[in-house]
Amino acid sequence: MPHVPSFARPARRLLVVALTGCLAAAAAPLALAQSTAATIRGEVTLDAAPAANARVTATNVATGLTRSVNADTDGGYSLAGLPPGEYRVEMVADGRTDSQVVTVQVGQVATLDLATGGLDETSTGEVDTQLETVEVNATALVETRTSEVATYVTQKQIEALPQASRNFLAFADTVPGMQFVSGGESGYSSLRSGAQSSNGVNVFIDGVGQKNYVTKGGLSGQNSSRGNPFPQLAIGEYKVITSNYKAEYDQISSAAVTAVTRSGTNEFGGSFFWDRTSDQWREPTPREEADGAKVPSMEEQYGISFGGPIVRDRLHFFLTYEAKDFSQPREVRIGEDFTVDQLPEHLRPLVGSNQARFNEDLYFGKLSWQASDSQLLELTAKRREETGLLLDSGINTASRAKADNNQETRLDLRWQVNATDWLNDAHLTWEESYWNPRSKVIAPGYLLYTWPLDGEGNPQERQILAAGGGADYQDKGQEGLGLQNDFTWYGWSGHTIKVGIKYKQIDVEAFEQQPYNPQFRYDIAGDPTVPYQVDFNASTLTADRRVTSGNKQFGIYIQDDWEVNERLTLNLGVRWDYEETPGFLDYVTDEGIATALRGWGNIADTDYDIEDFISTGNNRKAFKDAWQPRLGFSYDLNADGRHVIFGGAGRAYDRNLFDYLALEQSKHTFPSYQYRFNTAEHPCTVGEGNCVAWDPGYLDPARLEELAAANPNLGAEVNLIDNDLKTPYSDQFSLGMRNVVALGQVDWHTSVTLAHIRSYDGIYFALGNRFADGSFRDPANPGATWGNQPWGEAIPGYGTLLIARNGIETELDSLLLSLEKPYTQDSGWGVTVAYTYSDASENRLNAANSDEHYLFDYPGLDGQPMLASVGISRHRLVTTGIYDAPWGITASGKLTLATAPVRDAVNCFAAVSNDHCFFDPYTPHTGFKQFDIALQKRWDTGTDLSPWVRFDLINAFDWRNWTDFQNDRGGPGAGRADWGTRNGDGILLPTRTFKLSMGFDW
């Protein structure tokens, strides 16, 4: 049972308060989630005294949008709901004025104090908000008094820093605690924070979450894709929050990224870019060096944006389009140290170099209408289309490639209304996102294996090569409507009260046939035309194979950002989330399966109760305990924002992926079968169990369907899920200090934070089979702690049983250090330094990757040790720099250094026998390093047209970041001398790559 902190069950009165606040918000005029809007607040004084009822107005320099409030009796004011950008802030009090031009960032709460002294005899007390086109040198306001562990990524960094792809999330790793994983041979990318997988991340675009409810990746468009989830031209800036203590963020258990999109302004303008690289502009991979030739490859990216006024100061538009055309090298590698001449003759031509193609089109459009000084309406639309062939380097030959055809559409209608002391934001959204990889070739799969003996003479199956048709066929996605409303009241001096409500009706679906093509296994030591086993699916049970669910999601929160005094600020909030998944809740376990399980003597007296997994259609309830208290504080030592202690504690719930929940139905409606063939190398008794005589006719899938129809349940895998399934969550704690340190004329911003994050209740699937006495290990081998699982003890009349339940936990202790000199146009340079120390562990055994959710080596996770988290580097340093050189040249660089990430491994060397091996992750004696640079030259033509050319050099020193290591420590007492050393030529791409970009702005 996971440890439950004392604040897990807030008092019932908090629910009443939250519901009351949300009902009040719903009754107010609808309107943007506060996660992206900025706030300027402070005090106004007149002759050193509070200027009660002074009028404060903020006017956006680019769009003319205005916000006005009156100061309270203490001279305090708060201007909320400001889209990030440059503002002229003016105060009028008793006929006198003060004015400043400032810049605010996404989601920022900035402090700006205004004062006026002598009488301005020329002032009329009226403020001219019609701004002409001027060159503005705005002061960037700094937010230091926040409890969040958060860092901003500015538009200047997005535009200037070197990058291989145009995924705007790639800059998130400049933030301590974040890891943007890209450059692998697959070309896929993902964003990860701490010890949790990428599934725990959520990205908010203009306040709307982009969560993927079905498959992994955290957000839609980041699951096994070489594309980008959003056009970079459309991103203005964003904030990365690694520890969150604001109740407004939902469906998240690790980091949050909140981004704001660009809008049209009062001036027509746009941009065009094109960049390219090819095999001629990159260094060869180690395999290409060995072959003496490079695989032809090409990567092109191009796009255009355009925006401007339809009605000046009132109605603006912004449009953008970006595309990718990739042809990337892939290498077919023979496994288990075999050579080409040892392969069957028909496989030899398939070894060598291949290509993987990919195309993506991204569209984005936005209309912004300031209907009045108190109302702003925005309509945004996004479309993503991806096509191509997915193929990783490794043992898969070209025929194993998967056709890729993904698409996503999102619409967002936002209405923002403000008054003197309140602001209301609302979104009406619609989303549709589908992911459907499937085998390119429709033909039987040819899987070549070898069977070496282990240290005790037992044969071990090892794959050498894969040819023929692939196994994959999936079609998964989500579609539906959402409504969210956030109401902010700042009429109570010192308090900013927020309440919010969110409702979504999302239809989720999952279709999966694994394997789609039957997969035949061949032994390299036997006849290359006669397989010893086949794995296939058959549709003999039902024609309804698509799993669907009409999900309903509901969330509420209440939050008070309380400025107790000029030094202390408290963030006090609580949210509650609830989700119904009828596809899981209403599912009824097949009667035949339920009867077989209840009569199965092997599990009558074992370590679990099968009744906890048999669903009657009315014995499952939606999880109702997703209470999430979030408490934060900041203490400004000198009340000047230069030395601030901050920290907090909070709980955050995520959700269970429908892809996992659907397996209970999909494995039953389209079961998997496995039959063995009687061969000399793998003899079996024909007619017993699943053993049949080989017939070449079985290469025809129709014959396999007949085989399954004759024994419809024989070998069919059964998946069952715990009826009392909970929702995964994390508890987050942090304590740190921010400082603004003056060195000469330059202010440096520093931050040091200690963070502790513990996550609970991740879902995993374990082997439910048991021996006749109910044990998980073979009773004929007493004392064994490894192997000896009851794989052959299937459900009577069926196949293997897998049971899913909660239990995955992670733990992270980290030290986060950052040093930044923000880039400004006046100084012409900027530097960031981000260092992360991570002590990460997890009880997820056999974690080949951070998304691993299968456990077959132990009966469950209860009592299992916490091991080092796979894929996490203990030390990670990312530094960046931007410099405006003479002659219109901008130079930038990015250096990433990290110790090697932890790798999963089994330790048999330290065991008394092969029956006592155990999981023992290790860190190779190597690391990761990459240095990228970029130079951009811009020409001043004396007109509105500004052409530019840019050179990026990625991995400038061609450092090799190796991926293949010898994970086998050897047998008991007989260690391998090469354990932990590199045993292959796989590397993380890219090699040193030159990329040429050009374009123009107008």
- In this predicted model, what pLDDT tens digit does every residue of 92-110 receive, in sequence order? 888 888 888 998 888 888 8
Q: Where are the alpha helices (DSSP H) in 172-316?
A: 286-291
**Cα–Cα distance, 142 to 151 (Å, whole number):** 11
**Cα–Cα distance, 200 to 763 (Å, whole number):** 13
Contact 631, 650 (CB under 8 A): yes
pLDDT of residue 845: 80
pLDDT at 134 over 60: no
Residue 342: partners with Cβ closer than 8 Å, 6 or more residues away: 524
pLDDT of residue 878: 97
Paired tokens of 833: 């330094």
pLDDT at 543 over 70: no
Greater confidence (137 vs 416) lies with 416
Q: What counts of helices (H) and strands (E) characterise the chain?
A: 8, 53
**Cα–Cα distance, 675 to 714 (Å, whole number):** 9
The chain-wide mean pLDDT, for the chain, equals 89
Q: What is the distance of C-alpha 177 from the center of its chain?
A: 14
Query: Sign of the C-alpha dihedral, residues 55, 60, 61, 63?
Result: negative
Residue 257: partners with Cβ closer than 8 Å, 6 or more residues away: 169, 172, 191, 201, 202, 203, 204, 238, 239, 240, 241
Over range 425-452, report the average pLDDT: 95
pLDDT at 848 over 60: yes
Say whether the peptide bond before residue 990 is cis (omega within 30 degrees of 0). Answer: yes
pLDDT at 921 over 70: yes
Contact 913, 866 (CB under 8 A): no
Q: Where are the alpha helices (DSSP H) in 359-493?
A: none
pLDDT of residue 206: 94
- In this predicted model, what pLDDT tens digit does every residue of 707-719 receive, in sequence order? 888 877 776 789 9
Closest CA to 253 of 841, 723, 762: 762
HEC-encoded secondary structure of 812-827: EEEEEEEEEECCCCCC
pLDDT of residue 75: 85
Instruction: Say how many C-beta atoms besides its own lie within 10 A of residue 940's C-beta.
Output: 9
DSSP for residue 396: B
pLDDT of residue 189: 85
Q: Which residue has the tokens 């309140």?
A: 422
Residue 354's DSSP bridge partners are: 330
Instruction: Say how many C-beta atoms besides its own lie within 10 A of residue 271's C-beta.
Output: 18
**Cα–Cα distance, 17 to 32 (Å, whole number):** 23
Phi and psi torsions of 567, nearest 5°: -110, -40
Contact 960, 989 (CB under 8 A): no
pLDDT of residue 539: 67
Contact 800, 769 (CB under 8 A): yes
Residue 508's DSSP bridge partners are: 478, 549
Q: What is the distance of C-alpha 402 from the center of its chain?
A: 23
Say whether the peptide bond before residue 515 is cis (omega within 30 degrees of 0). Answer: yes
pLDDT of residue 183: 58
- In this predicted model, what pLDDT tens digit does every residue of 573-608 receive, in sequence order? 999 999 999 999 999 999 999 999 999 999 999 999
Contact 183, 164 (CB under 8 A): yes
pLDDT of residue 812: 97
Q: Flag the least confident range among 33-47, 332-346, 425-439, 637-651.
A: 33-47
Confidence at 30, pLDDT banded by 50, 70, 90 = very low
Over range 463-486, report the average pLDDT: 95
Q: What is the distance of C-alpha 30 from the center of its chain?
A: 30
pLDDT at 32 over 70: no
Contact 790, 603 (CB under 8 A): no
DSSP for residue 37: -
- The beta strand positions in 696-771, using DSSP E, are 718-721, 729-743, 746-767
Which helix (DSSP H) or strand (DSSP E) does residue 849 occupy?
A: none
Contact 876, 897 (CB under 8 A): yes
Residue 567 region, left (φ>0) first, then alpha (ψ -120 to 50), else beta? alpha
Which helix (DSSP H) or strand (DSSP E) does residue 339 occupy?
A: none
pLDDT at 14 over 50: no
Contact 402, 517 (CB under 8 A): no
pLDDT of residue 514: 84
DSSP for residue 228: -
Instruction: Say how many C-beta atoms besides its own lie within 10 A of residue 952's C-beta.
Output: 22
- In this predicted model, what pLDDT tens digit does every residue of 719-762 receive, in sequence order? 999 999 999 999 999 999 999 999 988 999 999 999 999 999 99
pLDDT of residue 117: 57
**Cα–Cα distance, 403 to 120 (Å, whole number):** 71
Over range 912-941, report the average pLDDT: 94
**Cα–Cα distance, 169 to 153 (Å, whole number):** 10
**Cα–Cα distance, 301 to 275 (Å, whole number):** 5
Phi and psi torsions of 171, nearest 5°: -85, -5
pLDDT at 26 over 70: no
Residue 559: partners with Cβ closer than 8 Å, 6 or more residues away: 246, 247, 248, 497, 498, 499, 571, 572, 573, 574, 630
Q: Which residue has the tokens 């394997």?
A: 515
**Cα–Cα distance, 511 to 380 (Å, whole number):** 30
Paired tokens of 118: 């002598």
Contact 515, 445 (CB under 8 A): yes
**Cα–Cα distance, 33 to 429 (Å, whole number):** 12
Contact 734, 752 (CB under 8 A): no
CA angle 371–376–379, rounded 5-degree value: 105
| Cα dihedral: 867, 871, 877, 878 (round 10) | -150
Residue 574: partners with Cβ closer than 8 Å, 6 or more residues away: 10, 14, 18, 247, 557, 558, 559, 627, 628, 629, 630
Residue 313 region, left (φ>0) first, then alpha (ψ -120 to 50), else beta? left
pLDDT of residue 484: 97
Instruction: Say how many C-beta atoms besides its own lie within 10 A of residue 807's C-beta.
Output: 22
Greater confidence (207 vs 80) lies with 207
Phi and psi torsions of 765, nearest 5°: -110, 130
Confidence at 795, pLDDT banded by 50, 70, 90 = very high
Domains of the chain: 31-140 (2.60.40.1120), 286-440 (no CATH), 872-1002 (no CATH)
Closest CA to 779 of 918, 958, 602: 602
pLDDT at 766 over 60: yes
Greater confidence (451 vs 986) lies with 451
pLDDT of residue 482: 97
- Percent of the chain whose predicted confidence (pLDDT) is above 70: 93
Instruction: Say how many C-beta atoms besides its own lie within 10 A of residue 628's C-beta.
Output: 25
501-510, 539-548, 848-857, range with greatest mean pLDDT? 501-510
Confidence at 851, pLDDT banded by 50, 70, 90 = confident
